[in-house]
Chain A
Amino acid sequence: MLSDFLHMGGYAGYVWGSFGLTAAVLLINLVGAKRQFKQRLAFVRRRMAAEDKT
């Protein structure tokens, strides 16, 4: 049953390749966007804190 499912009627490489690639690209995009946001927010906060001191 499970091996049938994984075999995908002989199209395993194509089907799993497509789904795997899609999952990877969507995840990388999400993680990259979040990381960029955190960096910029930290930058703005540092800057505002530095301004408050002067």
Chain B
Amino acid sequence: MWKSFHQFASPPHFYRLAGYLIPWFGVAALILILVGTYGGLVLAPADYQQGDGFRIIYVHVPSATMSLAAYTLMATAAGIGLIWRIKLAHAVAAAAAPIGASFTFLALATGSLWGKPMWGTWWAWDARLTSELILLFLFLGYMSLRAANDDTGKADRASGLLAVVGVVNVPIIHYSVEWWNSLHQGATIIKLGEPAITGDMLWPLLTMMVGFGCYFATVLMIRARSQVLQRERNSRWLKDL
């Protein structure tokens, strides 16, 4: 177990494994997102309250879910990098940041496009919306801390610390709709009991979520490979590429 863990954390091994996995995850992401989009826009029935406007859920919820997943992964990787001094973990964390920031931006923007017709406002300083905006600032802060440090080791430590401290925001975002009186609706899928959504509407959503997950994995591995190339630019194994 320990041996295989170290082997996985070796940059050449990771670089090759990721190179092999990227096309598979990429194709899976493409198929799932296309099927989910068709299901969400065409096959799912209109909502009895929101009509066709509810279809924004099919891009909003996967984006918001992936923004939290990306942050959790980034913070975990940064924590592993800080504690065990594994450079590959910092490389993965750094690779996750721009994708996570994009998902957070999408969650906010599509939420705004959904809020305008349903709530009558583009934005409100509400617990869910505000904590998600803070998530965007955490991603951007992490990225600018890295950009401001030319020394990769220093950049890893400074940005990694921010990522780990900022993880308290993740449960705040998730439970914000329960803890505070929120304009935002409550949980639909991840809650006790049955999901509050019919199967016709649910399967395209789950398909989109898995598709977004595969997309995230694809871009994460491409970016992590770029990170490895930059960090290992003096290593001999690169000659065999």
Task: Answer whether residue B120 sits at the interface, using C-beta atoms and an 8 A cutoff.
Answer: no
Q: Are A37 and B37 in contact (CB under 8 A)?
A: no
A29–B106 Cα distance when bound, in Å, is: 12
Q: Using A30-B219, A33-B219, A47-B233 as known contacts, say yes or no to A18 and B226 having CB atoms under 8 A apart.
A: no
| B110-148 near A? 1/0 per residue, CB < 8 Å | 100110110000000000000000000000000000000
Q: Are A8 and B55 in contact (CB under 8 A)?
A: yes
Contact partner of B241 (CB less than 8 A), chosen from A18, A34, A36, A41, is A41
Chain A nearest CB, measured from B22 CB (Å): 10
List the B side residues contacting A33 at CB < 8 Å.
219, 222-223, 226
Q: Are B52 and A11 in contact (CB under 8 A)?
A: yes
Task: Answer whether residue B82 sits at the interface, using C-beta atoms and an 8 A cutoff.
Answer: no
How many chain A residues touch the partner (CB < 8 A)?
29
A19–B52 Cα distance when bound, in Å, is: 13
Q: Are B55 and A15 in contact (CB under 8 A)?
A: yes
Chain A interface helix/strand/loop/mixed: helix
Q: Are A21 and B106 in contact (CB under 8 A)?
A: yes
Query: For this complex, into which size category does the number of interface residues on chain B fall?
Result: 35 or more
Task: Answer whether residue B71 sits at the interface, using C-beta atoms and an 8 A cutoff.
Answer: no
Q: Which of B12-62 contact A (CB under 8 A)?
A: 37, 41-42, 46, 51-53, 55-56, 58-60
Q: Are B117 and A44 in contact (CB under 8 A)?
A: no
Which residue, A11, A37, A44, has most C-beta atoms of chain B within 10 A? A11
Q: Which residue of A lies closest to B227 (CB)?
A: A40
A22–B219 Cα distance when bound, in Å, is: 15
Q: Are B63 and A36 in contact (CB under 8 A)?
A: no
Q: Are B222 and A34 in contact (CB under 8 A)?
A: yes
Q: Are B110 and A18 in contact (CB under 8 A)?
A: yes
Chain B nearest CB, measured from A39 CB (Å): 8
Which residue, A29, A32, A48, has most C-beta atoms of chain B within 10 A? A29
A8–B97 Cα distance when bound, in Å, is: 34
Q: Using A30-B219, A48-B238 as known contacts, say yes or no to A9 and B229 having CB atoms under 8 A apart.
A: no
| A10-25 near B? 1/0 per residue, CB < 8 Å | 1100110111011001
List the B side residues contacting A52 at CB < 8 Å.
239
A27–B125 Cα distance when bound, in Å, is: 30
Chain A nearest CB, measured from B130 CB (Å): 21
Q: Are B102 and A14 in contact (CB under 8 A)?
A: no
Chain A nearest CB, measured from B241 CB (Å): 7
List the B side residues contacting A14 at CB < 8 Å.
53, 56, 113-114, 116-117
Contact partner of B37 (CB less than 8 A), chosen from A19, A25, A30, A34, is A19
List the B side residues contacting A26 at CB < 8 Å.
102, 215
Task: Give me the interface of A with B, judged by CB distance under 8 Å.
Answer: 5, 8-11, 14-15, 17-19, 21-22, 25-26, 29-30, 32-34, 36-37, 40-41, 43-45, 47-48, 52
